[in-house]
Amino acid sequence: MWHTACMRIDVSSYIPGSSPVHLCDARVKIVLLAAYSATLFLVRAWAGLGLAALAFGVVSAISGIGWKRYFGLLVPVYVVAALAVAFNGFSFDVWQAAGAASGASGGPGDVSAGVFANLPPVALVGSFGVVPAGFARGCFFAVRIVLLVTASLVVVYTTTSTQLTDAFAVFVRPLGRLRVPVDDAAMVLSLALRFIPVTAEELGRVHDAQWARCAAFSEGGLRTRLGAWQSVFVPLFVGLFRRADALAIAMDARCYGIGDAVRTSLGRKRLAASDIAVLAVGLAACIVLAVWL
């Protein structure tokens, strides 16, 4: 039973709640996420990055979602952040790297190395060593990467897939004047999001069935294990094609795509005054951080 439970994949990202972040319009959250991401790339000093981190902390606390949800599943992100620190902080020619770092730190577009800017390099083995200014720059990049991912998680955790799809349809609607099938694109996105949990559930079910038939998923050599997984993916893809065919027949039976009628939605939502206020304050804060820090 333990082996069976391990293959149950939890792909549901939305966490139900009634916090102000949950109740905020999805379009506002997406626009603010884009502005926040651009701000992270435009800030050049640790003060600006610290204020950006403070803003994330405030929003995440208001959302009522635990910190473990944001930082507990970011192992791949931590690896990328560690590589950024390593590649910037260590060099095989510390003296040349230190000269390049000091020249770059004087540029107006480079990030601030803070108190590490004037520290000399430390040679460890021969010319290989640590460049303090580069190490500070790597830490700056690492924090930026983590904030980018966790900020996107705020939107994902507090917004349903339906709300994200509706927001996407609103954003691309002006392209309809250029005869771009925006409604069809929104429908494809909605179907893709809804098929993710179905595919994960089907994967776990087929895996459990093959494991009950003594498939060698964790025994034998690489060739044997790949053969065992082949017995999972073949019926999985066959089942997915059958579902897609059944969905196509159902949509065709409902006359989807026939005629030039404009598609409508039930209860088209308008931006509330609170949403507009949040959008204005958030954009203003991002502009101030990007321009001044």
Instruction: Answer yes or no: do 33 and 155 share one domain.
Output: yes
Q: What backbone torsions phi and psi does residue 140 show, to the nearest 5 degrees?
A: -60, -45
Give the per-residue pLDDT at 7.
Answer: 47
Domain count, the chain: 2
Binned at pLDDT 50, 70 and 90, residue 280 comes out as very high
Ramachandran quadrant class, 255 (left: phi over 0; alpha: psi -120 to 50; beta: rest): left
Give the mean pLDDT of the chain: 77
Instruction: Answer yes or no: do 183 and 293 share one domain.
Output: no
Is position 4 within any domain? Answer: no
**SS3 string of 246-269?**
HHHHHHHHCCCCCCCCCCCCCCCC
Instruction: Answer yes or no: do 125 and 242 share one domain.
Output: no
pLDDT tens, 14-64?
Answer: 788 888 988 888 889 999 999 999 999 888 888 888 899 999 999 999 988
Give the per-residue pLDDT at 117.
Answer: 59
Is position 9 within any domain? Answer: no
- Checking if the pLDDT of 162 tops 60, the result is yes
Give the per-residue pLDDT at 105.
Answer: 47
- Checking if the pLDDT of 156 tops 70, the result is yes
Instruction: Answer yes or no: do 28 and 144 share one domain.
Output: yes
d(CA 171, CA 182): 9
- Region of poorest pLDDT, from 65-69, 196-200, 204-208, 246-250: 196-200
Is position 7 within any domain? Answer: no
- Checking if the pLDDT of 291 tops 70, the result is yes
d(CA 241, CA 252): 16
Give the per-residue pLDDT at 119.
Answer: 62
- Which residue range(s) make up the domain with 93? 21-159+270-293
Instruction: Answer yes or no: do 235 and 188 share one domain.
Output: yes
Instruction: Answer yes or no: do 119 and 61 share one domain.
Output: yes
- What dihedral angle (degrees, nearest 10) is formed by the CA atoms of 80, 82, 88, 92? -110
Is position 13 within any domain? Answer: no
Burial of 281 from C-beta contacts in 10 A (0-12 / 13-18 / 19+)? exposed
Q: Which of 198, 120, 189 is nearest to 161 (CA)?
A: 189
Instruction: Answer yes or no: do 146 and 187 share one domain.
Output: no
- Checking if the pLDDT of 71 tops 70, the result is yes
Instruction: Answer yes or no: do 36 and 181 share one domain.
Output: no
